[in-house]
């Protein structure tokens, strides 16, 4: 049993097929199969079994794959002990984020981590459905992901901490009759045209909750993921939308109003593989993200959102 074999077993548990593991690790499927056979010879219980045409983990294989996370973490800590001991927080740290989080957090990171001895950032935007965020930790040290506050937790294969619990408000044109109200209900907004994200993205569950509470199907006329574009469409009269209170950039012709009657909150979490924080540079950036979250939230707390033009 060696580190590479355990890594392959872990990846098989996450990706679900030998071919997917081979693609992720840039080797051939036959090489993956050979390493699995070598690992199996050293152990008394079956680690894999056939499920149709695929090879999947048995319960014993899954248990060993989870233990492999601890092994990789321990080995990563050992590799970086000397660097940490010498007090060198430098090194490249890759950070990926979905669009609105990237817009809010990336400038704060770039300004807050300047200096010759600090981490060097490699930033990337990744706008993916919710279930694909954990896989991004394979290619990035830290991944900013979002999910609804009451949604399913992230898988145990990744570590996560929450940066923000951000309210989702209804965005209306500044001249809309509902803009004069301090808050709106599902019944108030259910008969309006709507601009929503694409299916598979977290905000859709809140849209569905609005329809359920109002007991009617919403008229979804536009599907737009980028919140800056959503705000422009709302301002032009294209419909109402849900926008995050703190991370969406304010538009002078758009008003945000709190939504009552449904649980309209999203979490912005930072995901990473447990072994990545063995590097001091990664821990430095993680701490900077938490400081940036406080700046993004500012002093608003859970107060009402900004009016148009603020």
Per-residue confidence at 16, pLDDT binned at 50, 70, 90?
A: confident
Task: With residue 221 as reference, give the H or E element that holds it.
Answer: strand 219-223
* 185 assigned to some structural domain: yes
Burial class from Cβ neighbours inside 10 Å (0-12, 13-18, 19+) for residue 13 reads buried
Q: How many residues does the chain have?
A: 310
Residue predicted with more confidence, 236 or 127: 236
DSSP 8-state secondary structure symbol assigned to residue 262? S
Provide the residue range defining the domain that includes 146: 85-159+266-297
Instruction: Give the burial string for 237-252 (b: 16+ CB within 10 Å, else e).
Output: ebbbbbbbbbbbeebe
Domain count, the chain: 3
Task: With residue 290 as reference, give the H or E element that holds it.
Answer: helix 280-297
Torsion of CA 40, 46, 48, 50, to 10 degrees: 130
Residues 182 and 259 placed together within one structural domain of the fold: yes
- Give the model's pLDDT for residue 7: 87
* 74 assigned to some structural domain: yes
Instruction: Give the burial string for 195-215 (b: 16+ CB within 10 Å, else e).
Output: bbbeeebbbbbbbebbbebbe
* 65 assigned to some structural domain: yes
Per-residue confidence at 43, pLDDT binned at 50, 70, 90?
A: confident
> What is the CATH number for 114?
3.40.190.10
- Give the model's pLDDT for residue 228: 93
Query: Under 8 Å CB-to-CB from 44, ≥6 apart: which residues?
Result: none
Write down which residue in 37, 54, 82 finishes a domain: 82
């Amino acid at each position: 049993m060696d580190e590479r074999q355990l890594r392959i077993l872990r990846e098989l548990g996450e990706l679900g097929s030998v071919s997917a593991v081979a693609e992720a690790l840039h080797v051939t499927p036959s090489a993956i199969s050979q390493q699995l056979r070598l690992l199996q010879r050293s152990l008394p219980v079956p680690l894999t079994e056939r499920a149709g045409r695929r090879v999947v983990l048995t319960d014993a294989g899954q248990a060993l794959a989870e233990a492999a996370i601890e092994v990789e973490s321990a080995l990563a800590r050992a590799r970086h002990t000397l660097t940490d001991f010498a007090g060198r927080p430098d090194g490249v740290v890759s950070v990926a984020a979905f669009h609105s989080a990237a817009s809010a957090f990336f400038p704060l990171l770039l300004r807050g981590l300047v200096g010759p001895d600090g981490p060097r950032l490699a930033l990337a935007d990744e706008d993916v459905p919710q279930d694909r965020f954990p896989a991004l930790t394979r290619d990035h040290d830290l991944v900013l992901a979002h999910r609804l506050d009451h949604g399913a937790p992230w898988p145990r294969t990744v570590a996560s901490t929450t940066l923000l619990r951000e309210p989702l408000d209804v965005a209306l044109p500044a001249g809309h009759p509902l803009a004069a109200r301090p808050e709106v209900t599902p019944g108030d907004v259910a008969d309006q045209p709507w601009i929503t994200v694409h299916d598979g993205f977290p905000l859709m569950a809140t849209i569905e909750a609005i329809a359920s509470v109002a007991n009617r199907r919403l008229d979804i006329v536009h599907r737009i993921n980028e919140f800056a574009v959503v705000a422009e469409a709302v301002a032009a009269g294209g419909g109402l939308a849900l926008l995050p209170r703190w991370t969406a950039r304010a538009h002078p012709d758009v008003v945000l109003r709190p939504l009552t009657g449904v649980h309209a909150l999203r979490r912005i979490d930072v995901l990473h593989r447990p072994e990545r924080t063995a590097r001091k540079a990664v821990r430095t950036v993680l701490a900077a993200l938490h400081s940036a979250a406080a700046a993004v939230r500012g002093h608003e707390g859970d107060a009402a959102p900004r009016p148009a033009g603020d």
